[in-house]
């Protein structure tokens, strides 16, 4: 987690598009303890099911697709080789920091769409 936060701060500082991040709400922050905060970020260009969302896999089978999407992202970030790169892309209307996430040379948002785990938001990853 410390490496992730350090990477984020480094990316924010070197980015020409977002030099300083100003948020109008503390809702984007998660207070870990007295001297640690984490920021809520959203992968730009994709949408996945919410954590409690269920999906119908077949007529008689319901799956926990929100949990499936979270577990897939976690697995990909842990198992793909290469360094984790988080590139700030903007701030959404919920004051979340939008980021592009890469592991090595792999665009994680694109990978999730291609795997059928995420939907492309607008035309970001549509062919």
State the greatest distance between any 2 C-alpha atoms of the chain, in Å, as a whole number: 51
Structural domain including 54 reads 2-120
Residue 99, in any domain of the structure:
yes
Continuous segment of H or E residues that includes residue 90: strand 84-91
Residue 11, in any domain of the structure:
yes
Q: Which of 1, 112, 101 lies closest to 44 in space, CA to CA?
A: 101
pLDDT at residue 127 in the model: 59
Query: What is the DSSP code string of 1-44?
Result: -HHHHHHHHHHHHH-SS-SS---S-GGGEEEEETTEEEE-EEET
Residue 2: pLDDT band (50, 70, 90) is very low
Residue 127, in any domain of the structure:
no
CATH value at residue 10: 2.40.50
Higher pLDDT, 56 or 41: 41
Give percent above pLDDT 70 in the chain: 80
In the chain, the number of structural domains is: 1
What is the value of pTM for the model shown? Answer: 0.73
pLDDT at residue 85 in the model: 93
Residue 75 CA to residue 17 CA, distance in Å, equals 30
Mean pLDDT of 46-51: 87
pLDDT at residue 6 in the model: 45
């Amino acid at each position: 987690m410390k490496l992730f936060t350090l990477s984020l701060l480094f990316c924010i500082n070197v980015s020409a598009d977002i030099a300083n991040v100003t948020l109008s709400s503390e809702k984007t922050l998660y207070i870990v303890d007295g001297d640690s905060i984490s920021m809520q970020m959203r992968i730009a260009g994709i949408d996945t099911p919410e954590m409690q969302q269920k999906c119908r896999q077949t007529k008689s089978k319901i799956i926990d697709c929100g949990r499936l999407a979270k577990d897939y992202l976690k697995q990909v970030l842990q198992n793909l080789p290469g360094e984790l790169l988080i590139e700030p892309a903007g701030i959404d209307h919920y004051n979340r920091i939008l980021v592009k996430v890469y592991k090595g040379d792999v665009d994680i948002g694109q990978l999730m769409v291609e795997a059928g785990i995420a939907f492309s938001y607008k035309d970001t990853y549509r062919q």
